């Protein structure tokens, strides 16, 4: 039987793979692949490990790259899908943003309405 940590890792990886396959094709320049690449260094933290400084850099970079409303909505949609596929990711994500001292205009929440993100 897999441990909770191993199960979380598998769910996270499946969610990331799904995001790459189902990346939105809207007007946004941001893709789920870009989001995942930027957040890849955060996986250790999401799994309960230490915070990698590259994670905070990736979050800041992602925030700066998402400069238009369609970009922010695309990032929101990707994060929403990750949160839906990984129930523990939402609480870890909130702690991650706080630890990195970065704020974004949406939450890592599977119920967020990304169309309302400005």
pTM of the predicted model over 0.85: no
Calpha distance 9→30 (Å, rounded): 25
With beta carbons less than 8 A apart as the criterion, state whether 73 and 30 touch.
no
What pLDDT is recorded for position 37? 92
Q: Which CATH number fits domain 4-116: 1.20.58.340, 1.10.10.10, 1.10.110.10, 3.40.47.10?
A: 1.10.110.10
Instruction: Using the predicted structure, report yes or no on whether residue 8 has a pLDDT greater than 80.
Output: no
The secondary structure of residue 52, as a DSSP letter, is P
Angle CA 84–62–22, to nearest 5: 40
- Least trusted range by pLDDT, from 23-32, 46-55, 70-79, 89-98: 23-32
């Amino acid at each position: 039987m897999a441990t909770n940590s191993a199960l979380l890792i598998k769910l996270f990886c499946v969610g990331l793979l799904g995001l790459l396959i189902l990346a939105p094709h809207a007007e946004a320049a941001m893709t789920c692949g870009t989001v995942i690449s930027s957040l890849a260094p955060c996986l250790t933290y999401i799994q309960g490990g230490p915070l990698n400084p590259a994670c905070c850099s990736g979050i800041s970079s992602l925030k700066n790259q998402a400069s238009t409303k369609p970009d922010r909505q695309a990032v929101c949609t990707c994060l929403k899908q990750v949160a839906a596929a990984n129930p523990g990711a939402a609480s870890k994500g909130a702690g991650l943003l706080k630890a990195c001292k970065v704020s974004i205009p949406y939450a890592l929440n599977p119920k967020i309405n990304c169309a309302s993100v400005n």
